[in-house]
Every structure is written in structure tokens, then in C-alpha cells.
A and B are shown apart, each in its own frame.
Chain A
Amino acid sequence: MEFEPKIVAFVCNWCTYAGADLAGTSRTKYATNVSIIRFPCTGRIDFMLLMKAFENGADGIIVSGCHPNDCHYTSGNFHARRRWIVFRSVLDFMGFDTDRITFSWVSAAEGTKWADLVNETTEKIRTKGPFTDFKKLDIETTNRMIDEELAK
């Protein structure tokens, strides 16, 4: 069976969610691999949520919110931006594949940008294949147990 990427999108209520809505109402077709989770603001998106998404089987993540200076709460996306800069470098330093997380600014008027973003991300993840880094860690423990079993 062909691999269908599971993508979780963490989006802000005011821009990207409305943008996705616009994509819907203007009947733009885009990949169905994405599950959207709506947040009040990008500033609310805790990095642990991203970790949990990967842990629970996501292959790719989209994080998106209002363009700089457009935040409904004035500065939420600026805070978020700093946090993503740091978070990306933590993940990169740990050797985590940061390409699996796509960050973007999508405004309420950018329905097509949203559709393109989802399509591109889906394609990118499709070529990358399923996210197995976390699972492998568990499988390693299982393998060890199987080895022990065989040793018997």
C-alpha cells in the first residue's frame, strides 16, 4: 500500500484557520492528509504539543499563523517566532529531522497559499517517507528483547 503521510497542522484561529476556511469556501482542492488543530494564537502553540504529535504518529507538522504585525493579540506571533527559532535549533542539535516541521504565515485572505502549503508539505513528507525515528527507539527495545529471546 502506498504511504499516505499523516500531517497535523497547528494553526491560529484568526488568520490561518480563516485562510483554510477560505480555501474551503472557494472550493480549492488540496491534499486530505492534514488534520487541523485550531489555537487561539500561535503564541499558544507549546513545543510539547509538537513532540506529542510526533510521538502519537504524525509524519509531518505544519505550524502556521498570522503574518508578522498582523497578530490579533498584537505580539503572539513574534513570541512564537522566537520560540520556533530556538526550538528548531534544539531539535537540529539533537539530530531530529526539522524538515518535518513546516512553519508558515498564512493570512485569512490567502486561501490558495494554504492549499499550496498543504500540498507541498504532503509531497515533501511523501518523499521523505514515514516518520519512524521515535518508533525505532521503541523497536530497539523490543528487538533487544527478541535478541534475548533468541539467545535462549
Chain B
Amino acid sequence: MKNLQNKVAELFENGTINLMIGFKNSINKLPVPCFIEKAEQIEQLIFTPECKGNLAVYLHKPEVKQAKKVGILANVATLRSIVQLTSENQLGDIEKTIITINAQNEILVFDKMEDVEAYVQANFPTYTDEDKKLLEQLSNMTREERWQFWTEQFSACVKCYACRAVCPMCYCPQCTVECNQPQWIKVSSETTGNLEWHTMRAMHLAGRCINCGECGRICPVGIPVHLLTAKMNQDIEAEFGSKTGFSCQSGYALNTFKPEDKEQFIK
């Protein structure tokens, strides 16, 4: 921890960064995001395996964009988000310094995206066992059972939009749910409207989601929403061979095409 703090202090001193996004301990012992602007706050900084949150979402915050030179403490999910966001040209106006700690407990500081790419590709995560199990369970169900499963889950949704808020890929200044001319998604949190919202979310994130699983983890009513996008990613990789958060040039599977794309259902 001390090494990390020293490293960050050094970056502050030589003016590489003027804002550091990292984690600190909270009263209830959970790592909370912290924003370090002054040298004396550096001692709060921690980075433990419990720091699973995806800090990349803060890169869209106006306050962060104003800071211009931003340091960010990144786990692999965050790195993948940054790679994907770069490929979608979203991080152009920030000079970012990315810090991570690898499995050997070494501090790595990236200033070139190529290095981040290389690191991500070498440490490319797979689905967690739990997710794999759930996905398999779901794919073994009949269609009716799946419908039952999801509608039951969605009936509990209250549309707090926490799944949208924590997602680094949800950066639209105005979301479809906020459009009311026409009203695409019902405002009320009734099951059909919730289903529409989650379908819409899954579609808009298909091929862009980096499988950090944050949306499912933080859902206050415990809907495994991350499975939707995770499954889409699986399918897209199988169909079109593109991986998200893998390379800065990969772009977005749904805004490109290949004439030889295959399907069986169009008559």
C-alpha cells in the first residue's frame, strides 16, 4: 500500500496528475471510491482484491473531465472499460495515467494505451464460475421457463437505474428512458415496462459490455441483470468473433458488418 501511495505522491509532485481516482476504506469496511486532489489525502488510498468496483464510470463525470490530468486506479475490469471507451472515442479530452497492481503485486503505471491493451490481453478474464453456472442453467431451461424466470425477476425492478448509473458504457447524455416524445419506455416500474427497459439496455450494451458484472452486483433488488449483457457478449463473440475491451481499434460490433455474416432465420 505504501508503495502505491508513494507512487501516486510522485505523480502529483511531478504534475502528471491533478486528480487521482482510487479507493479508500469506509466506516463499514467496504472500499469506497475516493477522489484525491491534495497530497495529504494520499494516505487514504488503498487497493485490495476487494476493490472490485469499476472506477472507469467516473471518467464521464464533468468534475473529472474538468481536472484534465487524471490518475485512475484500475482493476482488470476498469482497464477493459478504458480500452473499450477508447475504441469508442470517449476519452479524448482526458490525459489519463492508469495504475494497476498485477498478480505479482507490482505496481504498473501505464501512459500508453498499447501497454494497457497488452496487459488486458494477457490477463483477459473469463466469466466467474457463478455466472457460468447461471448462464448454463438458463440455457438449459425451456423458453417458457426462461420467460417465467425473467418476468419474475423484472417484476421486482423499481427502475432506480442503478444498473445504468454504474455502467461505464452508459455514457449517453440523454438516455432512451428519458425521451418522452415518444415515450419509448414506460416511466412506471411495472413488469412490461421493466422488461422493455432491460431489453433496451441489453441491446444497447450488446457488443459493448465488458462483463464487469457491476450492474448485477449492485442491483438493490438482486436481479442478475449482468447476465443479459454477458450472454449477448458470448453470442456476439461466437457470431462475429469480436471481443469487447480487447483492443482500442475493435469498435462496436453492431455499428459495423461483414457481408458474410451468417444467420439461419431470414427467409
The answer on direct contact between A and B (beta carbons under 8 Å) is yes
Q: Which residues of A come within 8 Å of B, CB atoms? A: 47-48, 51-52, 55, 68-69, 75, 78-79, 81-98, 102-105, 117, 133-134, 137-138, 140-141
Query: Is B228 within 8 A of A86, CB to CB?
Result: no
Name the distance in Å between A34's Cβ and chain B's nearest Cβ.
15
Asked if B164 lies at the interface with its beta carbon under 8 angstroms from chain A, I say: no
Query: Is A104 within 8 A of B263, CB to CB?
Result: no
CA of A83 to CA of B239, assembled, Å: 12
Query: Is A93 within 8 A of B147, CB to CB?
Result: no
Name the distance in Å between B231's Cβ and chain A's nearest Cβ.
5
Q: Provide the B202-243 mask, 1 if CB < 8 A to any CB of A, else 0.
A: 110011000000000000000000001001100110011000
Known contacts A48-B200, A97-B143: does B195 contact A103 (CB below 8 Å)?
Answer: no
CA of A91 to CA of B196, assembled, Å: 11
Query: Is A103 within 8 A of B266, CB to CB?
Result: yes
Q: Which 8 A-B pairs have the closest CB atoms?
A: A95-B147, A95-B146, A78-B257, A137-B191, A103-B266, A104-B267, A89-B235, A86-B206
Q: Provide the B174-191 mask, 1 if CB < 8 A to any CB of A, else 0.
A: 001000000010000011
Query: Is A86 within 8 A of B203, CB to CB?
Result: yes
Which stretch in B48-56, B71-79, B115-123, B148-156 binds the other chain? B148-156
Query: Is B145 within 8 A of A85, CB to CB?
Result: no
6 cross-chain CB contacts under 8 A: A69-B259, A90-B232, A93-B228, A94-B228, A103-B265, A105-B266
**Those of B115-142 within 8 Å (CB) of chain A:** 138-139, 141
Known contacts A51-B196, A86-B207: does B143 contact A95 (CB below 8 Å)?
Answer: yes
Asked if B192 lies at the interface with its beta carbon under 8 angstroms from chain A, I say: yes
Name the distance in Å between A107's Cβ and chain B's nearest Cβ.
13
Q: Which residues of A contact B138 (CB under 8 A)?
A: 93
Asked if B106 lies at the interface with its beta carbon under 8 angstroms from chain A, I say: no
